[in-house]
Amino acid sequence: MKKIEAFVYTSTIYSNCNHLNLPLKEEIIRLPFPADRFTDALKKGDSAMLQELVAYCKPDWPNTYTFSKCLAENVIMDNMLEIPVAIIRPSIVIFTWKQPMPGYVEENSGICALSIGAGKGFIKVFQADPNNRLNMVPVDITANTHVLAAWSVGTKRCASPFVINCTANENLHVKFREFTDMMTQMTLRFPFPKSFEQLSIPIIVTNKYLYYILSAYYHYLPAIVLDGMLRILGKKPRLYSLYRFFDTTMSCLKFFMFTSFEYERKNFEYLGTLIQPEDRKDLSLDFSDVTLSEKSLSVPEGSPFYDWKKDRKSQSERQRIAQNRHRLIKAIQWMFLMTFCLLIYWVFSRIFL
């Protein structure tokens, strides 16, 4: 690539999240070995050597994704010092702020998938710290950051490698409970198409054993019964497997549900000062006045999963189906509770009477 003018890599703000005692700075933390040793072990399929190398990297990363991002940043540092490089580290990417339209987000993107699952009445229990803060940045701000970073290092306005923490200020650095409450309010006002069940406020618990109990009661008990009914009707059961998939996914995110971070964003703010006046309308990085409550109301207008034409049922008919399903699930849960109480009574009566 002898004529390359700029190389921009999309990393993540959590590439160095294993360093809990430090603010996440706009710098690359080097691994104890050259990155080539890791990539050589990967190419050779030498799992034992790879695990040995990773064991020397302390503190531990919460998952392989964040470690792979740190490794990629080290690969860049080892091999691209003669190329103008920018590394963009977005935090949690959410719906668009302005471009191409306010409120656009795809259904299966990151935290949006959790919001939709709760909004459709499918997810009722989360294991998380309700006071844990989530830092969210609009996707168009992330895109603008990439464009501006390529221009700034390509024209040598910024030194290479230029590391940018693409993060939000306090307005979009919100507690998890505030986020779920806001999404609940939005869904109550604008019900989701293809809703599974009537919406209820999600339960957030920190204790894993309490989560297991509540998850068994609210998720798996109805799923097993409803899957059995689907089998009887000759249809494919899927609810139990969907809840298993949800728990597997959340186990990978558990670290981030209980850990808040502080972020350095000096380079991000400096990049905003380099924008030419004629480009500020289309490439602005100033979203300091954006609030989650304000922008969440633009999601029903801008997001494709809010298109009721895809539901095949009217809004009133869908709400009736969700309410009937809600009654059925409540009946299943109450029957289980009554049976459980009768069983406890029978056991105690045998022992003490």
Residues 6 or more apart whose CB falls under 8 angstroms from that of 153 comprise 6, 8, 84, 85, 86, 159, 160, 162
- Taking residues 212-216, report their average pLDDT: 93
pTM of the model: 0.86
pLDDT of residue 215: 93
- Taking residues 35-43, report their average pLDDT: 89
User: Which of these ranges, 133-137, 190-194, 205-209, has the smallest mean pLDDT?
Assistant: 190-194
Helices 35-44 and 64-79: crossing angle in degrees, nearest 10, is 120
pLDDT per residue over 63-88, tens digit each? Answer: 889 999 999 999 999 888 788 999 99
pLDDT of residue 86: 94
